[in-house]
Structure 1
Amino acid sequence: MNKVNIGKCVLAIFSQVMFTFSGVVTADESDVSMQRVGALLVDRTEVTIASFSEFIATTGTSTRAEKSGGLVYDGGWKAMPGWYWQKPFGQKADPELPAVHVTFDEAQAYCRWSDKRLPTDIEWQSVAYTESRAQPEPPFTRGETYPYPTGLEPVGANCLHECGATKAIDYSAKLTRGIGPAPVATGKVGVNGLFDMGANVWEWTDIDSDHQKGTRGGSWWYGSSPMKRDHRATKPRDMAVVYIGFRCVRDVD
């Protein structure tokens, strides 16, 4: 598997892997038994503030949250002026934190700019829970489908409770619940060598709906339950929320 550069939005490259309904086509280093998605490259981490800033600088994009304030839930959705991707809690943040306050379409625009796209819900679910590497490191077993992206237990993720100690940056003074996100790749490496598929921040997924889009994995705002394989939430595609981020995938011919 290719070397990881944490400073960028990084790809876990399943080298020339082909997925089939009936089985597996041999790849260079990984044999995968999942739903067919063709060949897929998956970001190892959630897209960071640092990576998103390059997109903003290059394209001149002005996000919805920059104009109207990002959303936080406090007895109802509340817009927070000055809270946006670069200042998720109203002040400049660690560039290795996941980029949040990004709508579905803004996330998709970033992915397209990077010659990638957002994953479908089925793709996200398959990659997050079913171990596909030919020789995964313990405790993971090839072909095993786990209840959490971290494996059999939620420990090692950045969630509200039941996940153990984290390296989250403490923004609790600005919140009515939880502490906040952790820099990417500081938690436990999970299924398929991916980071933070469970908790830290929810991740946008593409579902067959014009107005609603999927969010997967849970976040620092919640306990471990939303991390489970059968849990999917939806949000209006134009919402920019303090605990929703994203990662991208790429099809390989």
Structure 2
Amino acid sequence: MTDGSPRCCAQRQAGEPAATAGSAVALTPSPTPIARRWSRSIGGSFSMGSDDKRFPDDGEGPVRKVSVAAFAIACYAVSNLQFAEFVRATGYTTDAERCGWSFVFEGLLSEEAKRTSTNRAAEMPWWVAVPHAYWAQPEGPHSTILERPDHPVVHISWNDAKAYCQWSRTRLPTEAEWEMAARGGLEHAAYPWGDELTPAGEHRCNVWQGQFPNLNTAEDGYLGTAPVHAFEANGYGLFNVAGNVWEWCEDSFSPLYHQVTATENPFHSAPASSRSLRGGSFLCHESYCNRYRVAARSSNIPDSSASNIGFRVARCGLS
């Protein structure tokens, strides 16, 4: 995005070393679809979008009735364990690895890493470009996912997510599919469970508590990512569609999405520099970026990666 709106995820700048979808290694589809927990078949009509005016350039509205053909979506974001299986089977190298660095939130870094990694994102100094940070060492060298197999994989670009889908015989959800599934059958609700962020004081998602970006009280139990099965599922059985990690969608991003896409199976395919992201992350906070609402939208360029970007997969119908 270039509109100046507050953002929770950093992006690479034009001209920086970057891989493209065409440079990815040739992948062989998995012999059988990857075993995972799927939602029931979802489809039909729902009210998409919101009339929230906080981020007008995000294009959250106007609210409109749309219809979506039957599809199924993974109940969980793709985990470290699942992505490791993909890498072992294919030898795939992610964009973060090819570029040699990725963005890591400063609050997750050791003091030594903060001292040695001085390159920071413009206007968002809490994002540090850490050499050799990628999915298997999320905070850079000397960090590991060995104790986080059930956490969502991060430092994943849109290109990486598409490569995983090709191999696993799945696909990324469209924005309309993602939002319909995230709503869990609730019409017009702000969150997957209703309109209150913490009903009766109960934390229902992994977002920032305290004062962003300096103090996270971690009242929800997590400073960084939470396991993909943390908290309660929504009405369609989906976990963590609010907070935790941003999730890539298939659509190219446009702030005019609700004005230019069809009401039947909405999909934005027009050429654009960025791809859509949904769901917010563990860094979202009401004071800065409350995009953990189900209608909220964001975007990033296809080769960008960061410590709060992952994905979940979908498939058509029940096949």
The answer for unaligned runs of 5 or more in structure 1 is 1-6, 22-33, 132-142, 169-178
Secondary structure class of the residue paired with 1:227: coil
Secondary structure class of the residue paired with 1:110: helix
Q: What root-mean-square deviation, in Å, do the aligned CA atoms of Structure 1 and Structure 2 show? A: 2.5
Which consecutive segments of 4 or more residues in structure 1 shift more than 4 A? none
Q: CA deviation at 1:129?
A: 1.6
Identity of aligned residues (%): 31
Aligned length: 212
Pick one of 160, 164, 167 that aligns with 2:208. 160
Pick one of 109, 122, 129 that aligns with 1:79. 129
Once residues 45 and 133 of structure 2 are traced to their aligned partners in structure 1, the CA distance between those partners, rounded to angstroms, is 43
Residue 248 of structure 1 pairs with residue 292 of structure 2: no
The answer for unaligned runs of 5 or more in structure 2 is 1-33, 47-64, 107-119, 122-126, 198-202, 211-216, 253-270
Change (3 A) 1:150 1:20: closer
Change (3 A) 1:19 1:183: same
AA of the residue aligned to 2:246: W
Secondary structure class of the residue paired with 1:13: coil
Partner of 2:299: 234
Q: CA deviation at 1:243?
A: 0.3
TM-score if structure 1 supplies the norm length? 0.75
Query: What does the per-residue CA deviation read over 1:3-45, in whole Å, with 9 as the maximum and x for residues that have no partner?
Result: xxxx96432232xx55369xxxxxxxxxxxx843322111101
Q: CA deviation at 1:83?
A: 1.5
Partner of 1:190: 234
Partner of 1:112: 166
Q: CA deviation at 1:73?
A: 5.5
AA of the residue aligned to 1:19: G
Q: CA deviation at 1:85?
A: 1.0
Partner of 1:4: none
Once residues 78 and 35 of structure 2 are traced to their aligned partners in structure 1, the CA distance between those partners, rounded to angstroms, is 8
AA of the residue aligned to 1:58: A
Secondary structure class of the residue paired with 2:67: coil
Once residues 18 and 150 of structure 1 are traced to their aligned partners in structure 2, the CA distance between those partners, rounded to angstroms, is 19
Query: What does the per-residue CA deviation read over 1:200-237, in whole Å, with 9 as the maximum and x for residues that have no partner?
Result: 01111122344201111111111252112332111111
Contact 1:85 1:100 in 2 (8 A): yes
Please say which structure displays the higher CA radius of gyration: 2
Once residues 81 and 192 of structure 1 are traced to their aligned partners in structure 2, the CA distance between those partners, rounded to angstroms, is 39
Residue 69 of structure 1 pairs with residue 96 of structure 2: no
Once residues 8 and 117 of structure 1 are traced to their aligned partners in structure 2, the CA distance between those partners, rounded to angstroms, is 14
